[in-house]
Amino acid sequence: MYYNKYVYTYIQKENMINSEVFSVRAVKPIELRSRQKELLDLAYNGEILIVARPARKNVVVLSEDEFNKRDKALKNIEYLNMLDSSLEEARSGEAYEYMGKGKFKQTPLKVNV
């Protein structure tokens, strides 16, 4: 079994960069089968398991909480990127103002950010 520590870095609101150390274990499928309960308990407690398979068809095992946390961080980054591109569109005059009744007017908006 291989064991490494990695630093997971993600961006939160206000461009704060947060990091956390997490550990990764690489296991073979036969080891996973023979030590399934022990290894799944490790994954549940925050470790990430990589099950090494032939032809680099590896599988990652992590807890649902860890998956949800990483998924949320990724969605936050995507949302912040969308806000940045919207702000750039507004600054460059590519923004449209809704005039009501399905009508839009291209208007350079004053952006105070």
Domain-embedded: residue 111 = no
Q: What CATH code is carried by the domain that includes residue 68?
A: 3.40.1620.10
Please tell me the distance from the alpha carbon of residue 1 to that of residue 28, in angstroms, as a whole number: 8
Domain that holds residue 57: 2-105
In a domain? residue 18: yes
Q: Is residue 110 part of a domain?
A: no
Strands annotated E in the chain: 2-12, 16-27, 48-51, 59-61, 96-100, 103-106
Entry pTM: 0.58
* Each residue's pLDDT tens digit, 62-97: 999 988 988 898 898 888 888 888 788 777 777 777
Give pLDDT, residue 4. Answer: 47
Residue 10 pLDDT: 43
- Structural domain contains residue 113: no
Q: 5-9, 23-27, 55-59, 107-111 — which is least confidently predicted?
A: 5-9
- Residue whose C-alpha is closest to residue 113's, from 82, 91, 80: 91
**Rounded mean pLDDT of the chain?**
77
Phi, psi of 19 (to 5 degrees): -130, 150
pLDDT band with cut points at 50, 70 and 90 for residue 34: very high
